[in-house]
Amino acid sequence: MSPFELLERDGLARIGRLDTPHGPIETPALLPVAHPDPARQPIPPVEMRRRFGVHAVITSAYITWRTPPLRAVAEERGIHGLLQFDGPVMTDSGAFQQHAYGAVEIGPEESLRFQDRVGSDIATVLDVFTEPDATHEEAAEALRETRSRSEAARRSRAGLLAVPVQGGAFEDLRAESAAAASALGDVLAVGGVVPLLEQYRFPELARALAAARPGLSPAAPVHLFGAGHPMTFASAALWGVDLFDSSAYHKFARRGGLLFPEGTVSIDDLREPVCRCALCAVRPLTDVARLPEADRERAIAEHNLLMSVEEIGRVRQAIRDGTLWELAERRSVAHPALRAGLEETLRHPGPFLATEPASRPSFREILPESRRRPAVVRFRNALDRFARERPLSDTIGRVALRPEYLGRIPCEDRSGRPLAWDAETPLGPVPLELSDLYPVGPFLGLEEFAHRARHRPPSSVTDELRGRPALDADLDRDWTDGWTRRQILALLTWEYGPDVANELARDLVGVRSRTSGRLRRIRRQDATLFHVGTDGLARPTFRGAGDVRAALSEDRGRVVVMDDAREFVAQGRSLFARFVAAADPALRPGSSALLVDRSDELLGVGRLVLAPHEMRRMGRGVAARVVAHARAPDAAEDADPEE
């Protein structure tokens, strides 16, 4: 069974769990580098766990092997004995020393045998470190060697194996390496990037990740070798990096470098109490600066580790909240190089789109770049499709996006011809009937606050429309019901296409919130068929899903459940990935899906956790949470308190 399980996610980023012989690693996780020589390790691993909440570390098998006294202890008492740590220990093979010193004297078989012998929880293949400035020929040759070593390593290693992804600056090689590693590795370790991190070449890092990403298996955690500065964590996590390792906390400490998520500060320049973290509250950094060399280094390393661990915590919380893009954008202002990296990331929306969620609870504008997030790219693509299907004449005007204006805007002219209107939104014009949808509906941006004056009384909208001589429509009646009908049709078209929408929308009525005026439910007679959430999406109840199933052709909108799990799903238990027989590839995380059995009987309505292409590849974990089911079909129909 796969050792990795995905628990929560925000796009490519995920909260997961990697099981190891010494316990699980909750990801994203920072694996601080622990020097195998206790005399050279400023914070013992047990202390990292006790005081900093670090649960796993990485150490160099190569340094251990080539240092006879360390090797003797490791061979006798294991790597855990050497580090005096009984949590998960990942070992690295020596490729980094090859980068730093040009060569290593250990061979790939010996490296792996040694890692096995000392009981490493995650052993790493001795890859060939490819410099970012290597030629294509050099990178390809090195990659061939890394691949054959990885294949041999997989044959000989029963335990967890980290397989490096190399390929230098070449997209084709990164992609090939990612796919090859995915076939072999329990951990997919993106390597050869230390020079990019050290030299702040973040756009090149983004390009390497963009090239590797599509080939990386969703079923294995992704490790980024050498990413240890907390200002990089959020942007790397965006790409789905689950494991970070670095000696940065210690390396910077030697030179008096204080790590913060907002950048690096030299302790020699500090005169003010800029930090009040748990450590600095007891001993201010200005006092640390005056400590003797060794004590100072240790104190700064502790501070740096704390900052790093806290930032991992913020990344994890942001994934749970669906706000990782916001965190990454906020962090990107730490340094123009990070901002350039974000810019490069935005040029590669492709790898994000397959796991881009159907919606998030909110959309907060942080930078001008916020308007180019994958969520916006996907919304625009879907709008283009909708425009082709929209059964209306040309748009005749634009109106500000305020629910209270809706009733003032005629949706037909005097001859009964439908009038199309666009809402003016921060993301550009959007058909009025779709303007509650994520990301435009929940969009919270500058305009909201900068142009308060634009919020006019609803009557002024009528006055303005009266000034349009070409508009031959009744401006004295309340058009809310017309808009409700059109919105129902539009939301169902958005989800299911125009044919199904037309069939479903017959005799449906909408219920609007009394406070906000927004459409909240779609009903037929006494039954609620769809709920409309703050993301503006129409999500079916069990009754609604029954109607959708009847209208929607056989393969669409569905996740087909294997017989073994049929009863569980019908009773509302989560659907696990291994019980998925098939899934409509157009669904995505956060989508509402029809959960059906093999004879297309409806078992429940699911909210997807995994994208369809992931369901086939993940051996473990929840594929969909069941939100309404056959045994309690009305459970989700509780009255909406806002109506």
Shortest distance, CB of residue 361 to ligand GUN, whole angstroms?
A: 37
Cα separation, 559 vs 144, whole angstroms: 40
Other residues' Cβ atoms within 10 Å of the Cβ of residue 570: 20
Q: Pick from 90, 95, 153, 206: which binds ligand GUN (CB under 6 A)?
A: 95
- The verdict on 129 binding ligand GUN (CB under 6 A) reads yes
Give me the residue label for tokens 């009525």: 509
- The verdict on 11 binding ligand GUN (CB under 6 A) reads no
Cα separation, 536 vs 360, whole angstroms: 11
- The verdict on 633 binding ligand GUN (CB under 6 A) reads no
Spot the catalytic one: 10, 19, 92, 422: 92
Cα separation, 369 vs 339, whole angstroms: 9
Note every long-range contact of 479-483, with CB atoms under 8 Å and residues 24 or more positions apart, other chains counting: 479/406, 479/407, 479/408, 479/409, 479/410, 479/411, 480/406, 480/407, 480/512, 482/410, 482/411, 482/412, 483/406, 483/407, 483/409, 483/411, 483/432, 483/433
Cα separation, 347 vs 377, whole angstroms: 11
Amino acid residing at 377: V
Residue 42 DSSP code: S
- The verdict on 36 binding ligand GUN (CB under 6 A) reads no
Whether the CB-CB separation of 146 and 164 falls below 8 Å is answered with yes
- CB neighbour list of residue 183: distance below 8 Å, 6 or more residues apart: none
Q: Would you say 95 or 285 has its CB closer to ligand GUN?
A: 95
Q: Would you say 153 or 280 has its CB closer to ligand GUN?
A: 153
Q: Would you say 59 or 592 has its CB closer to ligand GUN?
A: 59
- The verdict on 194 binding ligand GUN (CB under 6 A) reads yes
- The verdict on 192 binding ligand GUN (CB under 6 A) reads yes
Q: Please choose which of Zn ion, ligand GUN, none residue 275 contacts, taking the beta carbon within 5 to 8 angstroms, the exact cut-off set by kind.
A: Zn ion
Q: Please choose which of ligand GUN, Zn ion, none residue 194 contacts, taking the beta carbon within 5 to 8 angstroms, the exact cut-off set by kind.
A: ligand GUN
**Angle at the Cα of 92 from the Cα atoms of 88 and 97, rounded to 5 degrees:** 150
Q: Please choose which of ligand GUN, Zn ion, none residue 92 contacts, taking the beta carbon within 5 to 8 angstroms, the exact cut-off set by kind.
A: ligand GUN
Nearest residue to ligand GUN on Cβ basis: 191
Q: Which of 407, 409, 341 is nearest to 369 (CA)?
A: 341
Q: Would you say 104 or 231 has its CB closer to ligand GUN?
A: 104
Q: Pick from 164, 240, 536, 540: which binds ligand GUN (CB under 6 A)?
A: 164
- The verdict on 124 binding ligand GUN (CB under 6 A) reads yes
3-state secondary structure of 188: strand
Q: Please choose which of ligand GUN, Zn ion, none residue 589 contacts, taking the beta carbon within 5 to 8 angstroms, the exact cut-off set by kind.
A: none
Which residue ranges make up the site for Zn ion (CB under 5 A)? Answer: 275, 277, 280, 303
- Binding residues for ligand GUN restricted to 219-238, rule: CB under 6 A: 225-226
Whether the CB-CB separation of 164 and 223 falls below 8 Å is answered with no
Q: Would you say 275 or 353 has its CB closer to Zn ion?
A: 275
Q: Please choose which of Zn ion, ligand GUN, none residue 277 contacts, taking the beta carbon within 5 to 8 angstroms, the exact cut-off set by kind.
A: Zn ion
Shortest distance, CB of residue 279 to Zn ion, whole angstroms?
A: 5
Kindly state the number of chain residues that form the binding site for ligand GUN, as judged by CB under 6 A: 13
- The verdict on 188 binding ligand GUN (CB under 6 A) reads no
Structure tokens at 333: 């202002």
- The verdict on 497 binding ligand GUN (CB under 6 A) reads no
- The verdict on 186 binding ligand GUN (CB under 6 A) reads no
Amino acid residing at 56: A
Q: Would you say 61 or 237 has its CB closer to ligand GUN?
A: 61
Instruction: Please give the distance of CA 375 from its chain centroid, rounded to a whole number.
Output: 12
- The verdict on 92 binding ligand GUN (CB under 6 A) reads yes
Query: 92 catalytic, yes or no?
Result: yes
Cα separation, 354 vs 378, whole angstroms: 10
Which active-site residues does the annotation give? Answer: 92
Per CB under 6 A, residues contacting ligand GUN are 92-93, 95-96, 124, 127, 129, 164, 191-192, 194, 225-226
